[in-house]
Structure 1
Amino acid sequence: MSFEWNKQEALGLLKELVGIPSPSGYTMEVMNSIKIHLEKWNVGYTTTKKGAVIATIQGKNQNQHKLLTAHVDTLGAMVKEIKPSGRLKLSLVGGFKFNAIEGENCLIHKRDGTTITGTILMHQTAVHVYKDAGTADRDENNMEVRLDEKAFSSEEVRALGVEVGDFVSFDPRFAATESGFVKSRHLDDKASTALLLQLVKKLNVSNEKLPHTTHFYISNNEEIGYGGNSNIPPQTAEYIAVDMGAIGDGQASDEYTVSICAKDSSGPYHYGLTRHLIDLAKKNNIEYKVDIYPYYSSDASAAVGAGLDVKHALFGPGIEASHSYERTHIDSLKAAAALLEAYVLSPLVTE
């Protein structure tokens, strides 16, 4: 099967996914959307008790399987406290800093299924009033949600149906530029999820049989550490996490190539499988970088840490400004899609 990639389809899937709020712990709607796509494509899947979705495409070898995973849960927050002023204090969901969400519009997801809009701001925002507006710490004590409602006390906010423990999601602000850049919150890891779904659709309509039965695991708790570490089919021999490549000082990854991770905070990934990915990239003329992510872990490392006996590896598109307002380029998405396809069509690693 020669590599052909539908850019507009990939961007359409990505835009749809980032438009569905799904902070870790509140992923019901986005998982339902994924199920609808799989059913439309006539792809069989199972749902775990934790809410993850595992789609399966049968291959020639049904005794030794491959598994690829991407996570659709995102960063977010929960209401920690309703202040006497009617503003909301937040508790963060996932590993990011308050400064990354300052000034961002948000949704408060009430337990009756409706939402209220708001904005995340410093308490000391007005420079005409607060001398320390620019220097005060961006932390849970100073950052708050300003609701778009006439509610000026905790009692009035509760009367709107807002309570402690309600989830808060951030406006993704998706944009695709004419120069090929894609900007949005939650490209980690909805970019890779879109690529996996696109590949599942393509494989299902193709007449080419995969060499090995392959599972596509869409996890929904990765940002809090335990997304894809259970319900792994016992025949799984190789486990690939398809996640973002981290960009910054000292990093090899960029926004234009696929990033292959050799090591992260959990330790080295399987040497033979990582080398296999590099060889596939070279053989198929896929632009790639090999990198180490010092403050990073993945569903693959979580699975191995939970005791899964598999070869594990990690690759994905390079994402700029991770856990903030992120950006990648269409070239990186295409390179990651090409390596995904090359991998599922390749034999298992024997070393």
Structure 2
Amino acid sequence: MNTLDYIVKTTERLVNIPSPSGFTKKVMDFVKEEARAFGYACSMSSKGGLIIRVDGRQEETIGLSAHVDTLGAMVRSINSDGTLQFTMVGGYTMHSVEGSYCKIHTRDGLVYTGTILIKSSSVHSYDDARTMERTEKNMIVRIDEIVHSKEEVLALGINSGDYISFDADFEYTKKGFIKSRHLDDKASVAVLLGMLKEMSESKKIPKKTVKILISNYEEVGFGASWIPEDISELIAVDMGAIGDDLNGSEYKVSICAKDSTGPYDYELTSQLISLAKENQIDYVVDIFPNYGSDVSAALRGGNNIRGALIGQGVHSSHGMERTHVKGLENTLKLLKAYLDLR
């Protein structure tokens, strides 16, 4: 299987493993086993993040990061009619999840299916179906079980604090588009695994030792707040935002100069731009005004690093997302150029 086919297939596998922030052991185990199969050593942080080590030709250590945690929800309470109230995990609009199929994961390991709905869910039945405000208090999860009361839901083993994951609905089209929830940021994790696969098969080694950080709390703001002390610079591999006056494209790799937390390191960002030019990689430089990354978290955590942010353009981020295989390819090319593989 060539690298791009592997990346697409791995993206599909990743997005179909439920993993809202903090509920990531199963998906982290998958990434760890893939990396180990390519011959790379792995370790875990105390909060459940994964560190993949790739020895380089020089002793200096640099870092790459991507996150496997996704948007999701958690059961807040159980209504008297057997539906669930939920609280958000991560930031999204209720419009983007209304009507979505979901799964409820109990603390005992049981899984139930359901649908996310507005309380006034039908124009045939409710005068305010179109106008009811889409907020947490007006949204419910309808469980696919024969229940009519809170007590019957409790008897299923469902309770407050249980995670709710959103079904991905992955599709890969004949024109090379990848449509799915959770491309932020599982597409980037797949790109990093594809890079490891290619490095392992070609026996190529990066100039500097690399620690790849796979974080599990990025969507709630503190994914890479701790990183290994020997990392001198960190590049977050995340998605490129698209919209309004932004330059992002599904077919290109975005290099972010500034997001909501401030500017990224000038020299490192300029280096990435130069590498893209030298290697004829399709790229854009952009500003992401409503965005933060693992590098943002690492800098807030007091880590003494240079930081940058790149990633394939993703349309309708935090909604029904879409990217293109060309965007994944250009992200991969820039990463390989940055690592100076030989």
TM-score under structure 1 normalisation? 0.95
C-alpha separation in 1, matches of 2:153 and 2:322: 35
Q: Does structure 2 retain, via aligned residues, the 8 Å contact 1:86–1:153?
A: yes
Are the counterparts in 2 of residues 107 and 117 from structure 1 also a CA contact under 8 Å? yes
Letter in 2 for 1:12: K
Secondary structure of 1:141's aligned partner: helix
| Corresponding position of 2:84 | 88
Q: Could you say what secondary structure the match of 2:127 adopts?
A: coil
2-side partners of 1:346 and 1:162: how far apart?
50
1:74 Cα offset (Å): 0.2
Match of 1:223 in 2: 219
Q: Is the 8 A contact 1:57 1:204 kept in 2?
A: no
Asked whether 1:182 is paired with 2:178, we answer yes
Amino acid at match of 1:55: I
- Residue 10 of structure 1: aligned partner: 7
Q: Which residue of 2 aligns with 1:153?
A: 149
Q: Does 1:24 align with 2:35?
A: no
Distance 1:128 1:208, change over 3 A: closer
Shift of 1:41: 1.9
State the Cα deviation string for residues 132-186 of structure 1 (Å, max 9, x = none).
1011101112110111010010000111110000000001000000011100000
CA–CA distance in 2 between the matches of 1:209 and 1:188? 28
**Is the CA contact (8 Å cut-off) linking 1:5 and 1:334 kept in structure 2?**
no
**Structure 1 residue matching 2:32: 3-state secondary structure:** helix
Deviations for 1:5-43, whole angstroms, at most 9, x for unmatched residues?
A: 622111111001001000001101101111211222221
Q: Are 2:212 and 1:193 aligned?
A: no
Equivalent residues, number: 342
Q: 1:190 to 1:319 in 2, by over 3 A?
A: same
The residue type equivalent to 1:9 in the other structure is Y
Q: Does 1:35 align with 2:32?
A: yes
Q: In structure 2, what is the Cα distance between the partners aligned to 1:213 and 1:104? A: 42
1:320-344 Cα shifts (integer Å, max 9, x gaps): 0010110011111111111111111
1:75 corresponds to which of 68, 71, 93 = 71
Matches within 5 A, 1:50-129: 50-62=47-59, 64-129=60-125
Runs of 4+ aligned structure 1 residues displaced above 4 Å come to none
Q: Give the Cα separation in 2 of the matches to 1:47 and 1:283.
A: 36
Matched AA of 2:309:
L
Q: CA deviation at 1:197?
A: 1.1
In 1, distance between residues paired with 2:205 and 2:30? 27
Structure 2 Cα separation of the partners of residues 42 and 335 of structure 1? 25
SS in 1 for 2:285: strand
CA RMSD of aligned residues (A): 1.4
How far the C-alpha of 1:301 sits from its partner, in A, is 1.2
Give the letter aligned to residue 45 of structure 2.
T
Query: For residues 159-308 of structure 1, what are the structure 2 equivalents within 5 Å?
Result: 159-230=155-226, 232-308=227-303
SS of the counterpart of 1:210?
coil
Structure-1 separation of matches of 2:228 and 2:138: 46
Deviations 1:119-139 (A, max 9, x none): 001110121111110111011
Which whole-Å deviations, capped at 9, do the CAs of 1:63-92 have from their partners, x for residues lacking one? Answer: x21100000000000000100010000100
CA distance in 1 between counterparts of 2:71 and 2:203 reads: 38
Correspondence for 1:323 among 298, 315, 318: 318
Q: 1:283-306 CA distances to partner (integer Å, 9 max, x unpaired)?
A: 111000100000111000110111
Task: State the one-letter code of the partner of 2:164.
Answer: V
Contact 2:74/2:88 (8 A) holds in 1:
yes
Which of residues 22, 42, 45 in structure 2 aligns to 1:45? 42
